[in-house]
């Protein structure tokens, strides 16, 4: 069955970087983009970007451009999302999700909490 | 940036029908997805391509779209349907989510 297992809670200081992982299993990876979405408490989900595992192409939401990097490790079947220059506004639960415009996001990871604290 | 607008809250009595709207410019021309989100859980896909149900989603969940508004309809609402609901659409290869609607049963 399709499954995404994400890394655990992270506590970072302002200005630091965080790297969250998402191990995928149970499906043909090349057929689906891997997306990253975050949700801060009481806020709407916010899409950050996606990666095409087949060729490594990425697209990032403009507001994160230059600060986010999404990668895919084929041998580990794992996607990584790294966000730099953290501020308190980056405190959120970060999710990986599979999908495209035709399918919606049909499978999600369990979420990784990122806390930013001085 | 593309904006999707939802009512903050909707209340419905058990057994009645709940309708949640999602408004966005020319939304009828875009594929809309809907998600259910319960506290402590990941979002769950309810509808894709505006009105298609993934396997496991009951027929009492339906979707439609006209003009600038997409609508999620849940009939015979049950206590288990109490949750936050988010719409989502693509615009120029970028994903946008609505602000969410808290459904109270």
Query: Model confidence over B20-54: pLDDT tens digits?
Result: 999 999 888 889 999 999 999 999 999 999 999 99
Beta carbons of A102 and B49 less than 8 Å apart: yes
Question: What is the average per-residue pLDDT within A8-15?
Answer: 97
Contact B100/A at CB under 8 A: yes
Q: Return the percentage of chain A with pLDDT > 70, whole number.
A: 100
Length of chain B: 105
Contact B88/A at CB under 8 A: yes
pLDDT at A30: 85
pLDDT at A65: 87
- Helix, strand or coil, per DSSP, at residue A28: coil
Beta carbons of B45 and A106 less than 8 Å apart: yes
Contact A47/B at CB under 8 A: yes
Residue B91 has pLDDT above 90, yes or no: no
Residue B1 has pLDDT above 90, yes or no: no
- Return d(Cα B20, Cα B6) in angstroms, integer: 7
Distances (CA, A) of B38 to A54, A106, B5, B80: 33, 16, 20, 10
pLDDT tier for residue B99 given thresholds of 50, 70 and 90: very high
Beta carbons of B94 and A108 less than 8 Å apart: no
pLDDT at B92: 86
- Return d(Cα A49, Cα B36) in angstroms, integer: 21
- Helix, strand or coil, per DSSP, at residue A62: helix
């Amino acid at each position: 069955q399709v499954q995404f297992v994400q890394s655990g809670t992270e506590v970072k200081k302002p200005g630091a970087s965080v790297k969250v992982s998402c191990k995928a299993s149970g499906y043909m990876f090349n057929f689906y983009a891997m997306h990253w979405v975050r949700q801060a408490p009481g806020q709407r989900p916010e899409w950050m970007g996606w990666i095409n595992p087949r060729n490594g192409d990425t697209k990032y939401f403009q507001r994160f451009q230059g600060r986010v990097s999404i990668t895919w490790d084929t041998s580990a079947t794992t996607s990584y999302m790294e966000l730099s220059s953290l501020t308190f506004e980056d405190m959120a639960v970060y999710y990986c999700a599979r999908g495209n415009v035709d399918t919606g996001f049909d499978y999600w990871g369990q979420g990784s909490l990122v806390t930013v604290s001085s | 940036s593309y904006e999707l607008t939802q009512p903050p809250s909707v209340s419905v009595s058990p057994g009645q029908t709940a309708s949640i709207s999602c408004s966005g410019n020319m939304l009828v021309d875009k594929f809309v997805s809907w998600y259910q989100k319960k506290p402590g859980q990941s979002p769950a896909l309810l509808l894709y391509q505006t009105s298609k149900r993934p396997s496991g989603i009951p027929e009492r969940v339906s979707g439609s779209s006209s003009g600038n508004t997409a609508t999620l309809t849940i009939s015979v609402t049950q206590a288990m349907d109490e949750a936050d609901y988010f719409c989502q659409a693509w615009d120029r290869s970028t994903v946008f989510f609505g602000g969410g609607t808290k459904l109270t049963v």
